[in-house]
């Protein structure tokens, strides 16, 4: 059977949902970042697939930039994570949240 664009997109969607569940579920900040990475990767797959099936290289370009952005986001995010840890001594979300609403 031909692997059509639908397959890739459905796969991307499922991976995105898995990442989504991870983001909602995780209480540890670091693990939260992992789940975010999953989502980003899923989106990359989708971009590349669409780019391939419609003959447009822009899909891959977009995936490049997503990778670049993700990398810098990880750098800054982990830096902040370190500062947070030094302040609160823990990375659990429930411990860190001080705003009362």
Partner 1 sequence: MYEFIAFYVFAISTTILFAITALSKNVLYAMTALAAGMVMISGFFFLLGADFLGVVQLIVYVGAVMALYAFAMMFFDATKDIKEKHENPTLVFLLGGLMALVFVVMFSAPIIGENIQALYPVGLAEGLGAYGNAQDVGLVLFTKYLVPFEVAALMLLVAMIAGIILAGKKMDYSLTECEASDEELEKEIKKEEA
Partner 2 sequence: MESLVYIALFAPFVGSLFAGLFFARSPKTHLVGIVASGLLAVSFIASVTLAMHVASHGAVHVTMMEWISAGDLSIPFGFLVDEVSVTMMVVVTLVSTVVHIYSTGYMDHDKGYNRFFSYLSAFVFSMLILVMSDNFAGLFIGWEGVGVCSWLLIGFWYHKEDRPFEENPSISPSWAANEAFIMNRVADLGMLVGIFLIYWNIGSLQYDVVFAAMPNLADGILVAIAIALFIGAMGKSAQFPLHTWLTDAMEGPTPVSALIHAATMVTAGVFLVIRANPLFSLDAVHGVSMFIASLGAFVAFYAASMALSARDIKRIVALSTLSQLGYMFAAAGLGAYWIALFHLAAHAFFKALLFLGAGNVMHAMDDELDIFKMGGMKKVMRGSYIYMGIASFALAGLPIMAGFYSKDAIIETAFNDGSFIIWGILVITAGMTAFYSFRQVFFTFHGEERYKALGFHPHDMYKYVLVAMAPLAALAISFGWFMDDFKGFITKNLPEYEMSHHTHHWAWLLGLIVIVVAVTGIIIAYKKYAGKGGDAWKRDEEFEASFLYKLVENQYYVPKFYDEFIVQPYTIASKKFWAIDKAVVDGSVDLVARMFYRSGDVSRGMQTGSLSAYLNWMGIGALLLIVAAAITAFMG
Question: Considering only residues 37-76, where is the footprint of partner 1 by CB under 8 A?
Answer: 37-38, 41, 44-45, 48-52, 54-58, 60-61, 63-65, 67-76
Which x/- pattern over 2-41 shows residues binding partner 1 (rule: CB under 8 A)? -xxxxxxxxxxxxxxxxxxxx-xxxxx-xx-xxx-xx--x
Cα dihedral 22, 16, 10, 67 in deg (nearest 10):
-140
Structure-block tokens of residue 82: 């370190």
Closer Cβ to partner 1, 31 or 96, answer by number: 31
CB-based contact 35:22 (threshold 8 Å): yes
Instruction: List the one residue out of 39, 45, 42, 14 whose CA is nearest residue 26.
Output: 39
Q: Which of partner 1, partner 2, none does residue 30 bind to, with CB < 5 to 8 Å depending on kind?
A: partner 1
Return the one option of partner 2, partner 1, none that residue 66 interacts with (CB less than 5 to 8 A, by type).
none
């Amino acid at each position: 059977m031909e692997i059509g664009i639908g397959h890739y997109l459905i796969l991307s969607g499922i991976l995105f949902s898995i990442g989504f569940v991870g983001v909602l579920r995780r209480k540890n900040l670091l693990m939260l970042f992992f789940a975010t990475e999953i989502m980003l990767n899923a989106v990359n797959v989708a971009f590349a697939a669409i780019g391939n099936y419609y003959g447009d290289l822009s899909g891959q370009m977009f995936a490049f930039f997503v990778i670049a952005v993700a990398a810098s986001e990880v750098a800054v995010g982990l830096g902040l994570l370190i500062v947070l840890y030094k302040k609160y001594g823990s990375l659990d979300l429930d411990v860190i949240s001080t705003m009362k609403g």
